[in-house]
Each structure stands twice: as C-alpha cells, then as structure tokens.
Amino acid sequence: VATGVAGIIIGTVSLTGAHQVVGEFVEFLSGGNLILMLVLVAVMSLILGMGLPTTANYIVVSSLMAPVIVSVGAQSGLVVPLVAVHMFVFYFGILADDTPPVGLAAFAASAISGGDPIKTGLQGFAYDIRTALLPFLFIFNTELLLIDVGLAKAVFIFIIGTVAMLLFAAGTQGYFIAKSRIWESALLMLIAFSLFRPGFWLDKVDPPYIEKAGTEVVQLAEANETGKPFRLQITGPDFDDVDKMTQITLMANLGETGDGVAKLDAAGLMVLEEDGMTKLDEPMAGTPFFTTLQMFDFYADEPVKVNKVELPADRMPKEVFYLPALLLLAFVVWLQRRRQTQPAFWGK
C-alpha cells in the first residue's frame, strides 16, 4: 500500500513538473556551489524519507532527488554513474528512520527498550549523522561502490575501505588506542579521508583532464580508435530564457567506426562545423542526450555549441597517496601507544 501511495505521489509530481521546480529551487539556493547543492539534496532526501518504508523510500527519493543531482551537477561539471547518485539519496532517505520527530525505527527501538522515543531518536540521530559524510564519498570516489573495478582491486578497496571506516569511527568517537587529543582525532579524520579519497590530493598535484578547444572535437573523435568516452562541455541559450547562457558537462560514449562526425553521431550528438565553431543540432528523440539537452534552445540566435573537450590525463596512480597517509597513521599509533594504560587487545 505504501509503495502504491508513493507511486501516486511520484506520478503527480512528474505530471505537474514539480520535480523541475525542485531542481531549480536547489540550483537557486546553492548558487552553483557543488557541495552546497549536495548538502541541500541530502537534507531534502532526509525529509522526504520520513515515515516511509524502505521500498517506498527509495522510489520517492530516487525519483525526485536523483534527477536534481544529475541535472544541476552536470552544470557544475559533475558526471557520475547513476548508481552512485541513487545510493547518495537513498542513504539519506534511510537516515530518516531514526530522525525525530517521525523516526519509525526510533519508535520501534523505544518500544523494545521501554525508553522515550524522542530521546531514542535524538541519540540515534547523533550517532548516525556523523556518517553523513560517507555518501559524499560515493559521489567523488565511485570505486567505493565497486563500479568498473576488477576482482583483485575490489578486494584491495574492501581492505582499505574497512581500515578507513575504523579510523573514521575512532576519529569521531575520540578514542583510538588511547583517548585521543583533539589534534589526533583531526589527524585520524584526515587519514581516513585520504584513504577514502586519494584522488583529491592527486587532482591538486596533477589535473585529471587535458582541456582542448571545442572546435577540435571532430578531429579528436576521429583520432580516438578505442571508443573511450569524451567529457564535453556544452554551452548555449537556456530554453526558458534565451538571453541566459547555460552550460552542461556530458560524458559521450563514442562509436568505434567511421569518421569523427559519425562517431559523435553514434553517441547521440549531431555536430556541424560552421563559423569557426562546432555547433550542435537538436538531438533526435530516443537518442542518449535527447532528454538531457532539452535545457537548451536550439532555435535561438545564439547556437548551442561544444565549448571544450576534456581528455583523461596520463597520471601516476592515486594510490600513491596511501603511503603518506599510512605513515601518518603509524605516527599516531606510536604516540598513543606511549600513553596507553591498558592493552588494546587481550593477551598483549
């Protein structure tokens, strides 16, 4: 019944176009800031998930909030697998189970313990909210969800992720081998972040993409013999306000045969080299970017064009940054072992 009611809500919102209003509202409040946009989506997912069972919860938050991250994030250059986006919003939707004043799980737990449901919910929320940082890592490091990784690397990620989770818990609880000083807890959090997201430090040292002019997209596509996807930044007049120029970043999966135009056409992009720029025609219905590019007005005076192309750069492995993180961890262990009053493990 709850799932059916959720379906009615989703259908009503979709037919009225309210989901687009939600996206515009989040975009307005965030002011184009990517992190702030994710925080706002997290808060709204938390509210939408209140009082819903798991299945209905997923249906509601994934239908209403996932498209917001995809559309608004693409305007900020964020292109991530849809699975990661769904996991992000679903995580916060589930957190609503012990978030007062609804907190269905808190009421169930208090019925067993005989405690006050509101106090139980507040205590559970205090424990859970510290893990709210983790879904953000799903967005910026999709390997944690084992997306596009082999078996050996999956085992490696599992081990590193487990260590990082333990350090994250130790940093937030204020106790590791011994009671942590504030700066030691901060170091543990920094180490956990470095293990979770080593690419952050690599991006500071070496940019992840090589930028090329949009006018080179056809030549670059023709030279791409492996069919590797391109990141394309598209700019053009906004559909709702032709005087406003908007942009979006796409990940285009090129075809493997034909010239550059044919490969881009296979990806769902009809390009035309004219007036010293690479223009885009309105995509055909049923092509990959038909829905995504509806935000542009293809018949305005200003054309929709490929502004730039971003090619993956050849860089050193991001796992290199595990080494300084582990050395820093060894330093914290050494400091805390010196003032340890009780062995951390039995028999030692």
Question: What pLDDT is attached to residue 335?
Answer: 92
Structural contact between residues 221 and 263, judged by C-beta atoms closer than 8 angstroms: yes
Report the candidate in 57, 67, 90 with the shortest Cα–Cα distance to residue 17.
67
Question: What pLDDT is attached to residue 345?
Answer: 54
- What's this model's pTM, rounded to 2 decimal places? 0.79
DSSP string, 90-147: HHHHHHGGGSTTT-HHHHHHHHHHT--HHHHHHHHHHHHGGGGGHHHHHHH-GGGGTT
Rg (C-alpha) for the chain, rounded Å, is 24
347: left (phi over 0), alpha (psi -120 to 50) or beta: left
Instruction: Classify residue 247 by its DSSP letter.
Output: E
In degrees, to the nearest 5, what angle opens at C-alpha 283 toward C-alphas 277 and 286? 155
Q: Which two tokens stand for residue 331?
A: 């330093």
Alpha helices in the chain (DSSP H): 2-16, 18-30, 34-48, 54-64, 66-75, 82-95, 104-113, 117-128, 134-140, 151-173, 182-196, 198-205, 217-223, 260-266, 322-338
Q: Where are the chain's structural domains?
A: 2-141, 149-205+316-348, 209-312
Structural contact between residues 10 and 63, judged by C-beta atoms closer than 8 angstroms: yes
Question: What pLDDT is attached to residue 343?
Answer: 61
Question: What pLDDT is attached to residue 323?
Answer: 96
Instruction: Classify residue 248 by its DSSP letter.
Output: E
HSE value, Cβ hemisphere, 13 Å, CA-based, for 77: 9
Report the candidate in 307, 294, 239, 245 with the shortest Cα–Cα distance to residue 268.
294
- Give the residues across from 279 on adjacent strands: 272, 305
Question: What pLDDT is attached to residue 164?
Answer: 93
User: How many CB atoms within 10 Å of residue 308?
Assistant: 19
pLDDT along the chain (348 residues), means of 10: 59 65 78 86 85 83 86 82 91 84 80 85 82 87 88 93 92 89 94 94 91 90 78 90 88 81 87 90 87 89 91 90 95 89 56
Q: Which two tokens stand for residue 92?
A: 């916060």
3-state SS, residue 175: strand
